[in-house]
Chain A
Amino acid sequence: NAGVTQTPKFQVLKTGQSMTLQCAQDMNHNSMYWYRQDPGMGLRLIYYSASEGTTDKGEVPNGYNVSRLNKREFSLRLESAAPSQTSVYFCASSVTAYNEQFFGPGTRLTVL
């Protein structure tokens, strides 16, 4: 039981490049989330998926898109990376949207 896994662990992009962050969970959770964490800002919700087939914007969705591929997988895409998107990205999941969230190991992204 791996819990929540994320790939890649580290990534360096140039401004304007695109990439997709992958997240998968094996806990049969219905809800999945993407956060970013910046120094002094805490964790901020980018997008979430309350259940398979649904996605909704969080607090800071601009510049991102998501896909809930199936119940296990939830990906985050940066279409045209900007230096302001340099951050640590965490994926999380929960049984339902009302339960505790469990986090993946994170992806450290630098945009030059």
Chain B
Amino acid sequence: QKEVEQNSGPLSVPEGAIASLNCTYSDRGSQSFFWYRQYSGKSPELIMSIYSNGDKEDGRFTAQLNKASQYVSLLIRDSQPSDSATYLCAVKGMDSSYKLIFGSGTRLLVRP
């Protein structure tokens, strides 16, 4: 069983719409959660981090965390074609390991 799961997509949304990206994780003790954006042929770029239950907003991005249900989501408001990329969810557990577990990513396509 994969430790961090994401729908591979592609998730296709029209320009201006809200894109909703979801991620579930298996380690109930996980404490830190990150969203990275990766354009084709480029490296992952950190866009959001969240550590406690609830919502965290940064510009057009909102990260939502629900530890009881073991999921974290990323909402992108007013989606733009430039948001088209693969979004990686990463989770860090509370054990002594320094390992950050990445999901395989969801590909987002924003149609003009």
> B17 in the interface, Cβ–Cβ < 8 Å?
no
Partner of A42, one of B42, B92, B105: B105
Report yes or no: A40 in contact with B98, Cβ–Cβ below 8 A: no
Report yes or no: A105 in contact with B43, Cβ–Cβ below 8 A: yes
B43 surroundings in chain A (CB, below 8 A): 90, 103-106
> A43 in the interface, Cβ–Cβ < 8 Å?
yes
Partner of B46, one of A41, A58, A90, A101: A101
**Binary contact track B57-99/A, C-beta < 8 Å → 1, others 0:** 0000000000000000000000000000000101010000011
B45 surroundings in chain A (CB, below 8 A): 103
Seen from chain B, the residues whose Cβ lies within 8 Å of a Cβ on chain A are: 32, 34, 36, 42-46, 49, 88, 90, 92, 98-100, 102-105
A-side interface mostly: loop
* Contact A42:B88 (CB < 8 A) given known A31-B98, A50-B98, A101-B100: yes
> A78 in the interface, Cβ–Cβ < 8 Å?
no
Partner of B102, one of A42, A48, A50, A97: A42
Q: With the chains together, A100 CA to B42 CA distance in Å? A: 18
B34 surroundings in chain A (CB, below 8 A): 100-101
A64 surroundings in chain B (CB, below 8 A): none
Q: With the chains together, A62 CA to B34 CA distance in Å? A: 27
Q: With the chains together, A70 CA to B57 CA distance in Å? A: 37
A31 surroundings in chain B (CB, below 8 A): 98
Q: Which A-chain residue is minimally distant from B100 (CB atoms)?
A: A101
Beyond the given A90-B43, A90-B44, could you list 10 further A-B residue pairs with CB under 8 A, ordered by the A residue number?
A: A40-B104, A42-B104, A43-B88, A43-B102, A56-B98, A58-B99, A59-B99, A98-B32, A100-B46, A103-B36
> A45 in the interface, Cβ–Cβ < 8 Å?
yes
